[in-house]
Amino acid sequence: MNKLEERKWSIYNQPVRFVHVCKCTCFTTNVTLIPIYWPKDGRNLCSTCTKNFCVEQVEGCRGAQIVETNSDTATGFEGQVWAKCFGV
């Protein structure tokens, strides 16, 4: 049995094997993980994890300034908010 199979994740008492999480980092020090249960666009769970989502959902991100991502560098660290989606 692999490590993912050993975990006992559930959402509303329904077992799940894989959970998507939005990692919100604001002001370079506040890091919050938010589980994503329903996708914003109906298909892609990670479409919900945006800088705006972080500012709206995380108390420690209130007032953070969002700037457009520079596609030339594509680091995602522009401005005071960083959002990263991943599965666990």
Residues of the domain holding 40: 10-67+83-87
Residue 11 has pLDDT above 50, yes or no: yes
Tell me the pLDDT tens digit for each residue of 16-55. Answer: 666 789 999 999 888 999 988 766 666 777 888 989 999 9
| Residue 22: predicted pLDDT | 93
17 lies in a domain? Answer: yes
How many domains does one find in the chain? 1
Instruction: Output the pTM of the full model.
Output: 0.68
48 lies in a domain? Answer: yes
Q: What b-and-e string marks burial along 33-67, b requiring 16 or more CB atoms within 10 Å of the CB?
A: ebebeeeeeeeebbebbbbebbbeebeebeebebe
73 lies in a domain? Answer: no
| Residue 56: predicted pLDDT | 92
53 lies in a domain? Answer: yes
Distance from C-alpha of 51 to C-alpha of 37, rounded to nearest angstrom:
17
Residue 6 has pLDDT above 60, yes or no: no
